[in-house]
Amino acid sequence: MAAEHRIRVGVLFGGESAEHEVSLQSAKNVVEAIDAERYEVVLIGIDRAGRWHLADGSRFLADATDPRRIHLSATTAPLALTPGQGTDLVELEAGAVLPTLDVVFPVLHGPLGEDGTVQGLLRLAHLPFVGPSVLGSAIGMDKDVTKRLLREAGITVAPSLTVRRRDQAPTWSEASAELGVPIFVKPANMGSSVGVSRVSSDVEFEAALDQAFSFDSKILLERAVVGREIECSVLGNEEPQASLPGEVVPLHGFYSYDAKYLDEVGAELIVPAKLDAEVVARVQALSVRVFQTLCCEGMARVDFFLTTSDEHGFDEGELVVNEINTIPGFTRISMFPKLWAASGVSYPDLIDRLISLALERAERETRLASAIKLESADHLSDQGG
Q: Compute how many other C-beta atoms are within 10 angstroms of the C-beta atom of residue 156.
A: 17
Note the residue count of the chain. 385
151 conformational bin, left if phi > 0, alpha if psi -120 to 50, beta if neither: alpha
Confidence of residue 72 (pLDDT cuts 50, 70, 90): confident
pTM beyond 0.85: the answer is: yes
The pLDDT tens digits of the residues spanning 263-315 come to 566 679 999 999 999 999 999 999 999 999 999 999 999 999 999 987 767 88
The pLDDT tens digits of the residues spanning 178-198 come to 999 999 999 999 876 788 999
Three state DSSP letters for 183-234 = EEEEECCCCCCCCCEEECCHHHHHHHHHHHHCCCCEEEEEECCCEEEEEEEE
Please give the C-alpha separations between residue 13 and each of 47, 77, 274, in angstroms, as whole numbers. Answer: 9, 15, 34
In this predicted structure, the answer to whether residue 261 has a pLDDT above a threshold of 50 is no
The pLDDT tens digits of the residues spanning 115-162 come to 999 999 999 999 999 999 999 999 999 999 999 999 999 999 999 999
B/e letters for 201-235, b = 16+ CB within 10 Å, e = fewer, are eeebbeebbebbbebbebbbbbbbbebbbbbbbbb
pLDDT of residue 322: 95
Q: Domains of the chain by range and CATH?
A: 7-130 (3.40.50.20), 131-157+225-345 (3.30.470.20), 159-224 (3.30.1490.20)
pLDDT of residue 77: 81
Q: Compute how many other C-beta atoms are within 10 angstroms of the C-beta atom of residue 274.
A: 8
Q: In 3-state terms, what secondary structure has residue 64? A: coil
